[in-house]
Chains A and B, each alone.
Chain A
Amino acid sequence: MTFYLSGFRSFPKLWKSNPYFELGPATSSASFFLGVHCVIGNQQRWFSVKTTPPNSKILNLLVTKARTLKKGNDSNKQASSGPHYFAAGAAKKRSHLSGNPQNQGHTLPVKSTVQLPTKPLNSKEWDKLKEDFKGKASFEDFVISQMTRSCSSVDVAKSLLAWVAAKNNGIVGYNLLVKYLYLCVFHKQTSEVIDVYEIMKAKYKSLESGGYTLLIRGLIHSDRWREALLLLEDIKKVMVPSKKNYGDCIQGALLHQDVNVAWSLYQELVGHNLIPLLETLKAFFDHGKDMNDDQYSNQLLDILLYLRNNQLYPGESFAHSIKTWFESIPGRQWKGQFTTIQKSGQCSSCGRAIESIHLSPEEYEFLKETIMRDVIDGGDQYKKTTPQELKRFERFVKSCPPFDIVIDGLNVAKMFPKGRESQNLLSVVSQLAQQNLQLLVLGRKHMLRPSSQWRKDEMEQVRKQAHCFFADNISEDDPFLLYATLNSGSHCKFITKDLLRDHKACLPDVQAQRLFFKWQQGHQLAITKGFLKSKLTFQHILSYDTVVQTTGDTWHIPYDEDLVPRASCEVPTKWLCLQRKTPAPC
C-alpha cells in the first residue's frame, strides 16, 4: 500500500489541471513515458495513450538512444521502451526474457557411409564404391539422395546414371531421374533439363507433382517455356497446382515478355484461393520497371490492394522493388523512403497520419455479433458457460454504465507471482480507479472464497472501486471480457496479457479474424509494470493500423525486415513511404 502515499495521491488533481501531465520524467531517460490520460471533453470521455515528446527530432534521437541502450544490455527489461506488444519480434523477445530460450535447431549429424565423389567416376569405380556401401536402401538411391542434399555437380550424377543404365539394360528408374532432374534444375542446366524432359515424356504417360514441379521450374528459363504451361494443365487434371507451380509459370511468362499469360495465370491462382508467393508478386513489380503501360500499372496497384485486403506484408527486397517501380513511373515523380511511424500515428518522413486502428461502425457491429455468436455461444452455450449465467451477465452489463476499462481479474492477479493475488488485483484496480474510470473486473467465483491468495478485505475493496462480475468456476471468463468491452463501445479498453489466440481461432473466417486482431491491437492494454512500488504502465497501444494503405498520391507500405523474425500475431514496424511530388497530368 505504500505507493498510495508516495506517487498517486496527488495524481487526479494534477491531471485535471494539466491535460498533458507527464508521469515521472525522471524514471528513465530512454523510455517514452506513456501516461494514461483521461480527458473529459463535452460529455464524452475518451481514453488514450500518448507519447510525451511531440517533436519528431527529439523522438528520433531518443529512438537511436534507446537502440544503443538496448544493444548495450540486452537483458535489461525496459519493456516500456521496447517495441509495442504486437511488433515484429516482440513475442520472441518476450519468450527470451522469461528465460525460455528456444531450443537451438540442432543439426543431426549426417552419417554418410559413402564418401561422395567430387568428379565423375567410371563404372569400375562405382562398382568399388558400391562394395564399400553398407545400408538398407539401395546404393544408387542412397548416393543420389546424398548428392541432391549436398548439391553435387551434374556430371557426377550423370556418371552415376550412366553406370546404372549400363547395368540395367539402359533403364534408369524414375526416382533416380527425378533426383537428377532436381540437380539439373538446381544448377540451372537448361539443356540437361530439356533432355530429361524428353526422356520423361517418352517414357511415362504422366508424371507426379514433384516431377512436374521440377520440370516447370527448369523449363521456364528455356525457349520451350510454353510447354511448362502444358505441364501445368497436366497437373490440373488431378489436383490444384501449388502456388509454387503458378509462381514459376508466371515468372516464366514474364521472363519471355508474355504479360497477358502472366496476368491470367495470376487471376487463376487467386481464383483457387491460393495466396501467391511474395516472390511472384515481386516478379510483377520487377518486370513493371521496363513497362510503360497504364493497364499494367493499374494491375500492380491491384496487387497492392490485394496485399492490403489480405493483410500481407512484403519482404525487404520486395519493398525495394515496389519503391523502384514507383520511382520509375515517368512523369509522376514518386519519391520513396524507408521510414518508421511515430507513436502518434504519423509517418516520420512525410508527416501524414496513418489510418486509424479503430474499426468503422459497421465493422464494429459485425465483430460484436460474431464474437457473441461464435465465441461465446458457439452453437452450444454450455461449453463455455451456461444460459443462466449468460442471461445474468447480459442483465448485469445492461444495468451498468459503459465501462472504460474491463479487467481480466485472474490474469492481472497472477501477473506478479511474488505478490498475493488479491493484492495484485487491488493495486491495479485502485490505481485505475483513481483516474475516475469506470472499471469492470471479471473473475470467477472462487476469488470470493477467502483463502491464502484471496483475502476478503481486499476483495471487498476491489468491489467498492469497480463493478465486478464473477463467473462460475468452470466457465471461461475471456468471452465475457470480450463481450463486455465490445458492448461498452469503441472507447473501452481491456486489460489482459493473454493474446486471446484461442478465441480468435473460434471465429469462422479469416475476415472476422482480421477484424478481431485489428480491434485487439487497438483495445488491449498489457501491463508491463505496476506491482506495488512501481507505477502502473502499459504497453503502448498502436493508434494506427499496420496495413498497406493509400491516399491517392501517397502510399504507405509496411514491410518485413529480412533479419527480424515475425510471429503471426505481430505486425511489422518498418514502413515504405511513397509520395508524389507533382500531381499527375491527367
Chain B
Amino acid sequence: MNVTVRFLRPFARCLVPYTFHRTRSNSYSRVLQRYVSSKVPSLPCHNKDSTSPPEQLELDGWKTTMKSSIQENGVSVVSDKDGDSLAATRELIEMWRLLGKEVPEHITEEELKTLMECASKSAKKKYLRYLYGKETMKKAKQMKKEMKAAAREEAKRARSLEPSTGEEQRDFMFLRLWDRQTNIALGWKGVQAMQFGQPLVFDMAYDNYMKPIELQNTVSQLLESEGWNRRNVDPFHIYFCNLEVDGAYHRELVKRYGEKWDKLLLTATEKSPVDLFPKDSIIYLTADSPNVMTTFKHDKIYIIGSFVDKNTQTGTSLAKAKRQNLATECLPLDKYLQWDVGNKNLTLDQMIRILLCLKNTGNWEEALKFVPRRKHTGYLEVSEHSQEAFRKQKKTKTLNSFRKGSLNVRMSKR
C-alpha cells in the first residue's frame, strides 16, 4: 500500500502542468478579481443628477459637506487622546500614505521604535521607504501564493473529473529521493574538502566598520557563497577567521543557519589567518591592491574580507593587509573587461564563484562571467595570442616603425 502511494505521487505531479494550462487564465482572473475587490472598498455611487448644477458657480458646495460630514467622524478620532510621540508618528505615516508617499501600510511597534531612533529626517524617510518596499514585496508574494494555490485547487478538481488516469502501476529503478541523495553526496565532498581541500579564508574582522544592515547583507552573501562552494565539484575548505563568538557576526550567522550552524563543513575560528597559515603563502584579495592577480595558485591561501562597504571607506582591507604585512592581489578586471559602471568591489558570492571557476579551469574569461553584466560592456580582446604579439611588437617597434610607416603611405596613395 505504502509503495503504491509513493509511485503515484510523481505521476500526479507531472500531470499538473497539463491541466494547469487549461485552467490558468481562468483562475488567474478570478483570483485577481477577488484581490481587487477586496482592496477597493466600494465604487462611488452615481448620483450625478442631483448634484450637477446648472451653473459652475456652485463651487463651494463640497466644503460644507466636507465640514459637516466630518463632525461625527472627528469626534471619534479625537476621543483616543494620547500625546505620545509614537502615536503621533503613526498618524504622520498614515497621512503620508494618504498623500501617496512610499510608506508602509502597517507598522509594528518595534519598527516604529527603530524609526524614532533614526537620527535625521532623511534617515527616517529612507527607513520608511525600505519598509514600504518590504511590504510591497511581501504582498506580491502573498498574492502569487494565493494564485498558485487556486491553480492547484483547480487542477485537483480537473483531475477528479477525469477518473481513469494514474491507476496503472509502472516500474522505476529509483525512489524519488534526489534531494536527500544530493545532500549526502555534497556532505561527503565537503568532508573531503575539510581534509584535503585548499583553504579559502573569509576574514570577519570588519564588523565594527559596518552598520547592522550592511552586516545582514554580508551574512546573506556568506550564506550564498557557502552554498556555491558546497555544490562545486572540488570545493574549498572554508575558514571563517576572526569570528568572535557572540559577536555581531556570530549571532547573525547562527540566527540565519539555525541548527545547521554546528553541522556546517567549514572551520569557524576566533584566530586570525596569520596564526593558522604561514604568512608567505597568504594572499589578501582586495580591489585596492596595486598587484594584479595573474593566475590562480593552488598552493596559496586566499583571503576574502567579508565586508559590505556602502560608505566607501576605501582602503580598509588594504590597510588591514598592510598592517599584517601580507601580500595583496586584485582581480584583473580592467585587463579582461571593458569596465563601465559600478565599483570594482564584487560581492562575496561572485568572488567565490570566480575563484572556484579559476580553480577548476584556470580560464579568466570563463571565470569573469560571474561579474555582473551591468558593470561592464564586454570582454577585451586580450587572448593569449594577441598579448604575445603585442609584446613582440613592442620589442621590435623601433625596427618596424619605419617600414610600417612607408607601407601605410603607399597604401593610402593607392
Question: Which residue of chain A has the shortest Cβ distance to B53 in the bound complex?
Answer: A122
Q: Which one, A122, A199, A238, A383, contacts B319 given CB within 8 A?
A: A383
List of B residues within 8 angstroms of A159 by Cβ:
56, 59
On whether A170 and B48 interact (CB within 8 A), knowing A141-B100, A238-B89, the answer reads: no
In the complex with contacts A124-B52, A203-B73, A208-B99, A170-B65 CB distance below 8 A:
yes
Given A155-B59, A206-B88, A239-B124, 17 more pairs with CB closer than 8 A: A120-B56, A120-B59, A122-B53, A122-B55, A123-B52, A127-B48, A162-B59, A165-B65, A166-B61, A166-B62, A169-B44, A174-B98, A195-B63, A203-B66, A206-B95, A240-B121, A384-B315
- A166 pairs with B92, CB closer than 8 A: no
Roughly how many angstroms separate A170 CA and B91 CA in the complex, as a whole number? 23
What residues of B have a CB within 8 angstroms of the CB of A170 in the complex?
Answer: 62, 65-66, 69
A171 touches B66 (CB 8 A): yes
| Docked CA distance A203–B95 (Å) | 12
In the complex, A209 has a CB within 8 A of chain B: yes
In the complex, B322 has a CB within 8 A of chain A:
yes
How far apart sit A178 and B61, CA to CA, in the bound complex (Å)?
18
Contacting residues of chain A (101-156) with chain B, CB-CB under 8 angstroms: 120-124, 127, 141, 155
Q: How far is the CB of B112 from chain A (nearest CB, A)?
A: 12
Sample 25 A-B pairs with CB under 8 A, ordered by A number: A120-B56, A123-B51, A162-B58, A162-B62, A164-B62, A166-B62, A167-B44, A167-B48, A168-B44, A170-B65, A178-B99, A198-B67, A199-B63, A202-B70, A203-B66, A204-B77, A205-B91, A206-B88, A208-B95, A209-B92, A211-B95, A237-B85, A380-B316, A382-B320, A474-B318
Residue of A nearest to B99 (CB): A175
How big is the A interface, by class?
35 or more
Interface residue? B60 (CB, 8 A): yes
Within 8 A of B (CB), among A190-235: 195, 198-199, 202-211
B127 to chain A, nearest CB (A): 13
Contacts of A210 in B (CB 8 A): 99
The answer for the CA separation of A167 and B52 in the assembled complex, in Å, is 10
Alpha-carbon separation in the docked complex, A199 to B60 (Å):
12
Residue of A nearest to B50 (CB): A166
3 interchain residue pairs of minimum CB distance = A170-B65, A165-B62, A208-B95
Complex formed: what's the CA distance from A122 to B59 in Å?
9
Q: How far is the CB of B360 from chain A (nearest CB, A)?
A: 32
Partner of B95, one of A141, A174, A384: A174
Q: Are A199 and B67 in contact (CB under 8 A)?
A: yes
A158-B60, A172-B62, A203-B74 known; A239 and B98 CB under 8 Å? Answer: no
Which residues in A have their C-beta under 8 angstroms from that of B315?
383-384
Residues of B within 8 A of A172 (CB): 62, 66
Whole-angstrom distance between the alpha carbons of A167 and B43 in the complex?
10
Q: Does A60 contact B (CB under 8 A)?
A: no
- A386 lies within 8 A of chain B by Cβ: yes
For residue A119, which residue of chain B has the nearest CB? B56
Of B53, B100, B290, the contact of A175 (CB 8 Å cutoff): B100
The reply on A450 being an interface residue by CB < 8 A is no
In this complex, how many residues of chain B approach chain A with their Cβ under 8 Å: the count is 47
A residues with a Cβ closer than 8 A to B are 120-124, 127, 141, 155, 158-159, 161-162, 164-175, 178, 195, 198-199, 202-211, 237-240, 380, 382-384, 386, 473-474
Q: Which A residues touch B65, using CB under 8 A?
A: 165, 169-171
Q: Which residue of B lies closest to A175 (CB)?
A: B99
Question: Shortest distance in angstroms between A498's beta carbon and chain B's nearest beta carbon?
Answer: 17
CA distance A383 to B314 in the complex (A): 9
Residue of A nearest to B57 (CB): A120
How far, in Å, is B7 (CB) from chain A's closest CB?
Answer: 51
Interface centre among B44, B65, B66, B315 (most CB of A within 10 A): B66
* A476 nearest CB neighbor, chain B only: B315
Question: Are the CB atoms of A208 and B96 closer together than 8 Å?
Answer: yes
Question: Which of A120, A210, A237, A386 gathers the greatest number of chain B CB atoms within 10 Å?
Answer: A237
User: Which residues of B are at the interface with A, using a C-beta cutoff of 8 A?
Assistant: 44-48, 51-53, 55-56, 58-63, 65-67, 69-71, 73-74, 77-78, 83, 85, 88-89, 91-92, 95-96, 98-100, 121, 124, 290, 315-316, 318-320, 322-323
Distance (whole angstroms) from the CB of B78 to the closest CB of chain A: 6
Q: A474 contacts which chain B residues (CB < 8 A)? A: 290, 318, 322
List, in ascending order, chain A residues with CB within 8 A of B98's CB. 173-175
Q: What separation, in Å, do the CA atoms of A167 and B77 have in the docked complex?
A: 25
Please give the distance in Å from B28's CB to the nearest CB on chain A.
Answer: 20
Chain A residues with CB below 8 A from B95, complex form = 174, 204, 206-208, 211
Given contacts A174-B99, A208-B96, contact A383 B85 (CB under 8 A): no
Nearest CB in chain A to that of B45: its residue = A169
Please, which residues of chain A bring their CB within 8 A of the CB of B100? 141, 175
The answer to whether B92 and A206 touch across the interface, beta carbons within 8 angstroms, is yes
Residues from chain A with Cβ under 8 Å of B46 in the complex: 167
Closest Cβ of chain B to A162, distance in Å, is: 5
Inter-chain contact A239/B121, CB cutoff 8 Å: yes
With a cutoff of 8 Å between Cβ atoms, the chain A residues found around residue B89 in the complex are: 238
> Which residues in A have their C-beta under 8 angstroms from that of B73?
203
Cβ-defined contact, B99 with A382, below 8 A: no
Is there an interface contact between A122 and B88, defined as CB atoms closer than 8 Å?
no
Distance between Cα atoms of A197 and B121 in the complex (Å): 25
> Within the complex, what minimum Cβ distance (angstroms) separates A460 from chain B?
26
Residues of B within 8 A of A167 (CB): 44, 46, 48
The complex places the Cα of A123 from the Cα of B100 at a distance, in Å, of 25
From the candidates A141, A202, A237, A380, name the one contacting B71 in the complex (CB within 8 A). Answer: A202
**Chain A residues with CB under 8 A of B70:** 199, 202-203
**Neighbouring B residues of A123 by C-beta, 8 Å:** 48, 51-53
Let me know if A386 and B322 touch, CB within 8 A: yes
Closest B-chain residue to A155, C-beta based? B59
Measured CA separation A383–B312 after assembly (Å) = 13
Q: How far is the CB of A355 from chain B (nearest CB, A)?
A: 35
Which of chain B's residues has its CB closest to A121's CB? B56
In the complex the two chains form, what is the Cα distance from A582 to B414 in whole Å?
Answer: 89
**Measured CA separation A155–B95 after assembly (Å):** 26
Residues of chain A lying within 8 A (CB to CB) of residue B322? 382, 386, 474
Closest residue of chain A to B328 (Cβ to Cβ) is: A474
Asked whether, in the complex, the Cβ of B66 is within 8 Å of the Cβ of A199, the reply is yes
Residue ID in chain B nearest A384 by CB atoms = B315
A205 CB → nearest B CB, Å: 5
CA distance A170 to B64 in the complex (A): 9
Which residues from A are CB-within-8-Å of B63? 195, 199
Distance in angstroms from B263 CB to nearest chain A CB is 37
Q: Nearest chain B CB to A142's CB is how many angstroms away?
A: 12
The chain A residue with its CB closest to the CB of B290 is A474
CA distance A122 to B123 in the complex (A): 45
